[in-house]
C-alpha cells in the first residue's frame, strides 16, 4: 500500500500549502478471518517553507482484506488537511494484467 504524493496540508500559522512527502510503512499485522489485516503508518515531520512553523502529519491506514482500505485516520499538528489522502496498492497493476 502506498500513499499518493504529494499529500497537501495547509499551515495553520500562515496558510501556506505544504506538500508532504512520506512513505507508508507496515507497522503491524493481525490474523483475521479473511486473512491478514495490515496496519500502515506514514509520518511527516517538517517545517512550513514560508513561516518555518512546525508541521507534523501522521496517516494511519488499515488494510483488510489485502488490497482493500478498511479505514484510515489523519492526525495533523500545526497544519490542517486540504484533501483526503489517496492510497494505491502497489501490487494492483500486475494483478490486473494476469
Ligand atoms: Zn506557515
How far, in Å, from the CA of 56 to the mean position of ligand 1? 12
State the Cα–Cα distance between residues 67 and 6, nearest whole angstrom.
21
State the Cα–Cα distance between residues 92 and 82, nearest whole angstrom.
27
pLDDT tens per residue across span 66-78: 889 999 999 999 9
How far, in Å, from the CA of 64 to the mean position of ligand 1? 36
Place of cell 501556506: 16
Per-residue pLDDT of the chain (98 residues; tens, 9 = 90+): 899 999 999 999 999 999 999 999 999 999 999 999 999 999 999 999 999 999 999 999 999 998 899 999 999 999 999 999 999 887 544 444 44
How distant, in Å, are the alpha carbons of 26, 27, 57, 71 from that of 11? 28, 28, 11, 25
Q: Which residues lie at CB < 5 A from ion ligand 1? A: 11, 13-14, 16, 48, 50-51, 53
How distant, in Å, are the alpha carbons of 74, 75, 78 from that of 9? 11, 11, 10
How far, in Å, from the CA of 55 to the mean position of ligand 1? 9
Residue 66: per-residue pLDDT = 87
pLDDT tens per residue across span 20-30: 999 999 999 99
pTM of the model: 0.86
Amino acid at each position: 500500500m502506498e500513499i499518493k504524493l504529494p499529500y497537501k496540508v495547509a499551515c495553520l500559522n500562515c496558510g501556506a500549502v505544504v506538500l508532504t512527502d512520506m512513505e507508508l510503512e507496515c507497522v503491524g499485522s493481525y490474523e483475521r478471518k479473511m486473512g491478514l489485516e495490515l496496519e500502515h503508518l506514514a509520518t511527516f515531520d517538517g517545517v512550513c517553507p514560508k513561516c518555518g512553523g512546525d508541521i507534523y502529519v501522521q496517516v494511519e491506514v488499515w488494510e483488510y482484506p489485502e488490497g482493500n482500505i478498511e479505514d484510515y485516520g489523519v492526525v495533523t499538528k500545526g497544519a490542517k488537511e486540504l484533501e483526503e489522502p489517496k492510497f494505491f496498492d502497489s501490487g494492483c497493476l500486475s494483478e490486473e494484467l494476469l
